[in-house]
Amino acid sequence: MSQGPATTRCPICGKAAAPETRPFCSPHCADVDLGRWLIGHYRIPGSRSDRDEEPQPPPDAA
């Protein structure tokens, strides 16, 4: 079980990560990942439908 030094791969482009920008290979990839993360937080799919579910009137309540 000896695989040598653990190489962290950049999750963005797959290159070997640099020690200064781990786990990314470069500040650019770090920015890309941060951008994706922020976008993911702004658009959470289906996060409202569960809680803010308003009671809908029955179809025959005219």
CA distance linking residue 33 with residue 51, whole number of Å: 29
CA distance linking residue 39 with residue 45, whole number of Å: 11
Among 13, 22, 35, 36, binds Zn ion (CB under 5 A): 13
30 touching Zn ion, by CB under 5 A = no
Question: Of the ranges 1-9, 27-35, 37-45, 48-56, which one interacts with Zn ion (CB under 5 A)?
Answer: 27-35
Shortest Å, Cβ 39 to Zn ion? 18
How many residues sit in the footprint of Zn ion (CB under 5 A)? 6
